[in-house]
Amino acid sequence: MDFRSPSSRPPSARPPTRQQQRPGTANVRRPKTAGRNSERPPLSQQFQIMANRPKSRIGLTSEAIDDSAAQRPMTGMARGGDGIGTKSPSELAADSLRSASRRGLRSAASRQPNALLRTAGGGKAVNQQQRPITQQGISGADKPVPGSRMASRMGTVMRGRTVADKSYFIGLLNNQLNALENEVVSLGFELEKAEKGKENLLAYEQRAEEQANELKQLQGTLADYNTIIDRQNTDSNLRALEGEILEANRTNQEMVDRVEKTFRERKQKEETASELEERIGRIKAENATKMNEMGNELEEEFGRVTSEAEQLADQLAKRQAQLEEIGRRKEQLDMALANSPLKQQTMMLEEQLQELRERRAAIVSELNAEETPEAQRDHFAQRIQRDNEEIAQMQTQLQETKERMAQAQEELQEMQNEFEVLAGGKSDKFRELKGREQQMDTFLENFELSKSQREEHIGTISAQIVRQLQLISLNCRHLELAVANVSGLDESVLAMGSAGVSAAELQQLHLRLQEELISLDQHQILLSNEFDSMRSKQTEIEAELGKMANLEMIKAEFGAKGRELEAKKVQVDEELLRTETELAVLREQRETAEKRTEKNAQMAKLRQMKQTVDELEEGKAATEEKTKEQMAKYDFESAKQKTLQKRTEFNEMLTNGTMNSSSNSRTKNAK
């Protein structure tokens, strides 16, 4: 039961202000009080604090009002020393816990979004959505909740209004926290399920891998069994099988050795590459430390020298490109000059004209110059000195020209000697062919005479043959006669008449005659072959004579070409001299630039370090290329695929052969 009037204020509340007595339509917000600014500790800490500290009169009064067991408010006698109406610390702690739990229930009820606040008049429920919240809170509530903060703050805003304190919003936050905790718990369950599924999947993959390995082993065993069955069906020899096994083991050992060697080489190259990388890193670190150790002046000088070196390098590249372009243009001009003598003459005339123009300009400048006699004397002395230098230079050039002319004459003499050697060889051949032609002419002229002589010789031989035949016939008719020393040319036999010869003598005579006939036939064949060869040689000689008819023309052409080459040589020497002078100027410029860059010690060190880094990078690139080549060389994936394909084909063939043999055996058994 509440003994205070609705307009009464607790003793702990601050005195009412003028703004609190007015209706809640003020535009200026009231500043927060210490009660609002103070943060409420957590519930557990509130329990401890409330259990450990004594209660004030107002707190005891509010608890007496809230508690149904205590129907009267606490009086001042409760603080007396007689012990009437006092409580022990344990009872105070229990009371504080009960009041805190009741306040928590009421605050939880007030934390619902659609909670209704009661009015002080007739206990009518007012919806929060019927009127918006203003600076002074929610209107429509008359009776405050006993023992709550809203009751203590209701009179401060305006009579007849109830303000929802931060416990309402803390309740909303607690609801959100509970929802988040539930969501976290559900996510934890899902995470556990996912981890279990992952573990199951990993176990399944391991088991599948084991099964795959086992399947491969079983396939290999099946292939071995099929091979054994095939060997049994084909009645293979055991020694052949042992030889195949030894060959397979040797091949496997070679492949293993090769793979190990490749692995060692790769490991060595990787170590070398890592060492090179470490060395490059050390060099870069040293360069960085040196750059950091350099002072500002040295850094500026180094930057200036670096930029100057880059500019000189660019200029050198440009000059080299220009030199290459000049060289290409020179070649084109040389080709054009070689193909056009008119252009050669034009070039020479232009050079002479340029020299004359320069001389004319010098003479005009001398005539126009009005100088004193002393200046003229100095000028003439300088001119004489310059002329002497030019004369010395011209003498050196003349000496060089003489040397070149001597060298050109030597080359020309060598060319003439070579030409004479070439032409001399051809002239010797020509003379030889001429002699053979004369021989053929004499042979043709004496052919009839030699022919008549041969015919006479053949006639004499035929007469001798006839006489020999007569002797043979006579010997055949007089076999019983014995005449000693009878020859084929012995004409005494003809006069013998009835005289006879022996059979052995006749046989010897017959053999001699046959030999002579054979030799005559051979001589005839040799003569005919020689005659044919002489005819063919005559035709060849005539063809060679036709080819050598233009010898003088060829010689004239060689002479003209030699003269053209001499003229070209002179022109090329002149152009080469000019090009050499330009090249010497460019080289001097380049040398001066290099000397300027070489004078700087930092630049030399930087160039040396750059060269070292380039060498290391080249070594690294070469090592990487070799590594890639070795990896590509010892890539056994293709061979593995082919081997597996061959194995499957072989297994299929063995299976088909086994099935065919089994079917054949079944058919035989059935028959």
Please compute the mean of the pLDDT values over residues 647-658 and round it to a whole number: 75
* Percent of the chain surpassing pLDDT 70: 59
Residue 110: what pLDDT?
A: 47
Indicate the pLDDT class of residue 52, thresholds 50, 70 and 90.
Answer: very low
Q: How confident is the model at residue 430 (pLDDT cuts 50, 70, 90)?
A: low
Picking from 27-41, 374-388, 440-454, 500-514, which range would have the lowest pLDDT averaged per residue?
A: 27-41
For 20-42, the pLDDT digits (tens) are: 444 444 444 555 554 444 445 54
Separation CA 655–CA 651 (nearest Å):
6
DSSP 207-255: HHHHHHHHHHHHHHHHHHHHHHHHHHHHT--HHHHHHHHHHHHHHHHHH
Place of tokens 């002489």: 534
pLDDT of 286 higher than 70: yes
What CA–CA distance (Å, rounded) separates 85 from 72?
A: 11
Q: Mean pLDDT throughout 45-51?
A: 46
| Average pLDDT of the segment spanning 234-251 | 82
H/E element, 139: strand 138-139
The band of 422, judged by pLDDT with boundaries at 50, 70 and 90, is low
Q: Would you state the pLDDT for residue 650?
A: 72
Residue 66 has pLDDT above 80, yes or no: no
Helix residue ranges per DSSP H, 599-636: 601-633
Supply the pLDDT for residue 567: 79
pTM: 0.21
| DSSP letter string, 577-603 | HHHHHHHHHHHHHHHHHHHHHHT-HHH
pLDDT (tens digit, 9 = 90+) per residue, 11-20?
A: 454 555 544 4
C-alpha atoms less than 13 angstroms from C-alpha of 158 in its C-beta half-sphere: 17
Highest mean pLDDT among 60-69, 189-198, 624-633: 189-198
pLDDT attached to residue 194: 92
pLDDT digits (tens, 9 = 90+) for 350-378: 888 888 888 778 777 766 666 666 776 77
Residue 151: its pLDDT value, please?
43
Higher-scoring residue by pLDDT: 420, 277: 277
Pair of tokens at residue 95: 């009371």
pLDDT for res 124: 41
Q: Name residues whose C-beta falls within 8 Å of residue 617's C-beta, 6 or more positions apart in sequence.
A: 280
pLDDT value, residue 253: 92
Contact 120, 4 (CB under 8 A): no
What pLDDT was estimated at residue 603? 63
Percentage above 90 pLDDT, the chain: 10
Q: What pLDDT shows up at residue 149?
A: 47
pLDDT digits (tens, 9 = 90+) for 510-524: 777 777 777 777 777
Please give the residue that has the higher pLDDT: either 144 or 324.
324
Q: How far apart are CA 272 and CA 622, in angstroms?
A: 11
Between the CA atoms of 141, 147, 150 and 153, what dihedral angle is there, to the nearest 10 degrees? 110
> Average pLDDT of the chain?
69
For residues 119 and 142, is the Cβ–Cβ distance under 8 A?
yes
Residue 184 reports pLDDT greater than 80: yes
Question: Considering only CA atoms, which of 317, 308, 294, 301 is closest in space to residue 595?
Answer: 308
CA of 399: how far to CAs of 385, 395, 579, 647, in Å?
21, 6, 19, 86
Query: How high is the pLDDT of residue 307?
Result: 84
pLDDT exceeds cutoff 80 at 7: no
- Highest average pLDDT, of 161-170, 312-321, 559-568, comes from 312-321
State residue 656's pLDDT score.
77
Range of 119-133, 320-334, 380-394, 439-453 with top mean pLDDT: 320-334
Q: Taking residues 549-557, what's their average pLDDT?
A: 65
400 vs 580: CA distance, rounded Å: 14
Among 100-109, 383-392, 597-606, which is the least confidently predicted range?
Answer: 100-109
Higher pLDDT, 503 or 440: 440
Model confidence at 330: pLDDT above 70: yes
Task: Give the CA dihedral 528, 533, 539, 545, nearest 10 degrees.
Answer: -140
| Residue 489 clears pLDDT 80, i.e. is over it | no
Compute the distance between CA of residue 381 and CA of residue 152 in angstroms, rounded to an integer: 126
**Count of positions (residues) in the chain:** 671
How many beta carbons lie within 10 A of that of residue 206, not counting itself? 10
Most confident of 156-165, 319-328, 375-384: 319-328
Q: For residue range 113-166, what is the model confidence (pLDDT) as tens digits?
A: 444 334 333 444 444 444 444 444 444 444 444 444 444 444 444 455 566 788
CB atoms under 10 Å from CB of 106, counted, come to 17
H-state helical runs in 235-372: 238-293, 296-339, 341-368
pLDDT, mean of residues 251-260: 92
d(CA 158, CA 139): 9
C-beta neighbour count of 337 within 10 angstroms? 20
For the chain, the structural domain boundaries read: 433-551
Q: What is the pLDDT of residue 265?
A: 92
